[in-house]
Amino acid sequence: MNVCELRIRGVDRDAALAAARWELFRFPAVRHVCRLGIGDRAAILYEGSQPDLPAWVETLGKAGYAAEPLERAHGKLRAV
């Protein structure tokens, strides 16, 4: 399982986060989407070696959510 971080405008409300999450669930690699604290930062948990950022950002944009990757937050999750 890997994680990356996106800034998704408007997901500071729970209903908007839920809608954006369902847009990303169109991608089989996406396993979970959660907001990071308060605001518009979200963690995307996904399977595979690389996130499909261009497709995710495009899909969110078509659904009305401006999104951008936050480059510093890519990595592999390890069980502890």
The Cα 23–Cα 28 span in angstroms is 11
The Cα 29–Cα 47 span in angstroms is 5
**pLDDT for position 12:** 86
Taking residues 62-76, report their average pLDDT.
Answer: 77
Given 3.10.20.70, 3.30.1330.60, 3.40.30.10, 3.30.70.100, which CATH number is that of 2-76? 3.30.70.100
**Residue at token pair 């959510």:** 65
The pTM for the full model equals 0.84
The pLDDT mean for the chain works out to 88
The Cα 42–Cα 22 span in angstroms is 13
